[in-house]
Structure 1
């Protein structure tokens, strides 16, 4: 940790939170510990009375939280998942496709067992939309040892990734409604519209609906007809 003038701190990493107080209006964090000082931050820091600040001096073999989050994100995703630029040390993973969210639970457990590493995600087999948030990856402290990230990369070198999106297949689909009460029009079919709506969501090619009595041979015949 080293104390430097704010004008010389651009590109350096803040070692502590900095609070902004506006009497009667606001009291809260203006800059978070671990923030990388930008050129536009200098004037704001001076306005807060911070002419000098404490910055982090990197040691050999240590990685800052933003760089670490990117390294973890790159290691755990596959082609149907994207990740954003880290904010406050966390990178968010998002789906690039509609589909089923799959998790390699064993691999995820191994990674979360590595010191400093934290990955939180949606549950297994979750139905997701394009652009939906899937997980957040980060390290707990401001820095971590490079060897921890190398360990993650080695775990993820195989064919399987930690997270995967299985895209929906656009299949042909028919509805075969059974039951004498519906076939003989004693009651109205109310299941067909509901099922068709579900098929639309999955972009299935709807090819028709057939009504059958409670007769095994007739039901079999209709199934084979649509097959």
Structure 2
């Protein structure tokens, strides 16, 4: 499962979350050349449930940057891939103010989210305002999980199945809030002992990830990441 953020000019990016369109093009070409297909998280997890995930790679784009529809979407289409976009419905048309002193980047509007959904991309929630759920009070935690899901349902006509923790941070309380809000899975970064359907670890991909680095990350991934569940079944039975 690969974690992207912005797709645009990678200069002046102290957090290294931006991949240039040219680099993304080469990365997707490398995946396809190695018999791999980028898919949304829901598609990947459903394939795992059926034992048909061989050759599939989950592609995720955090923060819901407006450049997704301009730069990422055409490249995903070109290479026959889909992806999951984790959007912030509380900041529609806003900017990534949490990344100061980094460059200001516009976020998707409601129309941009709908465009991505019509193109076959999965829309997931990144919360409302990009807040760290591990430090949120109960009211904030509820709004970031429940209310963001309602807003995205109103925009796309479909309640999102996936959630992504802002900053990648998760604890048992945050994971439980996501589960009770009705999501079927959630993505983190390094989830550690919480690894499971509500704390799926991902590999960060940046501008410096050449095809050689992708090869190394692919080789190391099984060694440093705990095995994730194959199905949603256990979570459904818990409800």
TM-score scaled by structure 2?
0.23
Q: Name the structure where strand makes up a greater proportion of residues.
A: 1
Larger Rg over CA atoms: 1
Q: Name the structure where helix makes up a greater proportion of residues.
A: 2
TM-score scaled by structure 1?
0.24
